[in-house]
Amino acid sequence: MKVGVLGATGYTGQELVRLLQQHPESELVYLGSSSSSGKSYEVMFPQFSDGRIGLLDDEEVPDLDVLFCALPHGLTAGRAAKWLERGIKVIDLGADFRIKNPETYESWYNCTHPAKEIIPQAVYGIPELYREEIKGKSLIANPGCYPTATLLALVPLFEKGLVSTKNVIIDAKSGVSGAGRSANLANNFSEVNENFKAYGVASHRHTPEIEQQLTLAANDEVLVNFTPHLVPMIRGILTTIYTELAPGVKEDDLLTCWQEYYAEEEFVHILPEGIWPQTKFASGSNHVFLQLKVDQRTNRAIIVSAIDNLIKGASGQAVQNMNLLWGLPENMGLEMRALWP
């Protein structure tokens, strides 16, 4: 399988390179970059040097079986139709195909969608939730990191009607790598370390993505309060979610729902009672950790999920989607567990 990565020098691009280097059925034949074309990837990133990775290429995509697009939003959609026509399967790690309604996309992303007509071809790619829809597709909208962590916790519960569609509060926390590989004073070590803050309050672009998939799961409109925060760590997302129980529902109903839904899933772990997710349980792996508790005093469920934002929240899930598309075991190249400590 010949694969390529467009946007290979960013953090999700680097993580794709790292994972694909170890993937036994893929051959990494193309690394595209607008800014570093012609440079040696191994000299830029000696941590990956293995004598086999070639030079960074420009953005002229050669013939490939799969192209991963790790570009900022707006830069993939306009070119995707061309690649699909050439028979290249496209896995887009950006936002261009995640939102089904172009008006919603345009209002949250403040730009015109460059290829509305192919949005319907895209499938939202969380294998544990949408496996059957993904199979056989050619265009995958690889989900955002926050939506992945949120939806894996909530979709089963909403599908079963166990929690109210009102008053859904998602308080999320992410490591700094989520902000990408760029020179930005706000992400300078001296500004971030020993510091913690909220950002994008009531305005983060992952909000409509979460609402779209929860509305589908609940078959009822869901609005959420979503507040992301920046944690002084590199990797990891933890979401703390507050929801009201549907009438008559108890803590065990929620846990049973998860256990049944994820019984066959290698990457999803419902933790034993009293053990709560830590981002480092997931760090360096494609795994997801879940726990919940119902506060009897307020009849509200507190639900916590943890993932590695660059792996299950981006590049690992992209490789999992590739495996699924090609009928390979979903965990191929994704066997490694968390780097601990």
Stretch that binds a copy of itself, among 11-19, 25-33, 92-100, 312-320 (CB under 8 A): 11-19
Measured distance CA(339)–CA(26) in Å, rounded: 24
**At closest approach, how far in Å is the CB of 169 from a copy of itself?**
5
Binding residues for a copy of itself, total number by CB under 8 A: 86
In angstroms, give the least distance from the CB of 217 to a copy of itself: 19
* Known active-site residue 111: no
Three-state secondary structure call for residue 186: helix
Smaller CB separation from a copy of itself, 119 or 334: 334
Residue 319, strand partner residues: none
Q: Which of residues 146-205 bind a copy of itself (CB under 8 A)?
A: 167, 169, 171, 173, 175-177, 179, 181-185, 187-199, 201-202
Identify the residue whose tokens are 């607008």: 34
Specify the DSSP element, H or E, that contains 244. strand 237-244
The answer to whether residues 304 and 236 touch, using CB atoms and an 8 Å cutoff, is no
Residue ranges in 267-286 that form contacts with a copy of itself under rule CB under 8 A: 269, 271-272, 275-285
| 24-63 residues near a copy of itself, rule: CB under 8 A | 43, 45-50
Cβ 188 to a copy of itself, closest distance in Å? 5
Stretch that binds a copy of itself, among 58-66, 127-135, 223-231, 254-262 (CB under 8 A): 223-231
Least Cα distance to 119 among 144, 134, 149, 139 occurs for 139
Q: Distance of alpha carbon 184 from its chain centroid, rounded? A: 23
Min CB(339)–a copy of itself separation in Å:
5
Residues listed for the chain: 341
Note whether 236 binds a copy of itself by CB under 8 A. Answer: yes
The first and second tokens of residue 201, run together, are: 């309050």
Q: Is the dihedral of CA 317, 180, 15, 122 positive or negative?
A: positive
Do residues 299 and 249 touch, judged by C-beta distance below 8 A?
Answer: no
Catalytic residue from among 69, 111, 145, 257: 145
What's the min distance (Å) between Cβ of 264 and a copy of itself? 12
Query: In this complex, which beta carbon is closest to a copy of itself, that of residue 134 or of residue 282?
Result: 282
Report which of 325, 338, 311, 327 is spatially closest to residue 143, judged by C-alpha positions: 311
Two tokens at 252?
């065990």
Residues within window 281-340 making contact with a copy of itself, judged by CB under 8 A = 281-285, 289, 293-295, 297-298, 300, 302, 304, 306, 335-340
Which residues are designated catalytic?
145
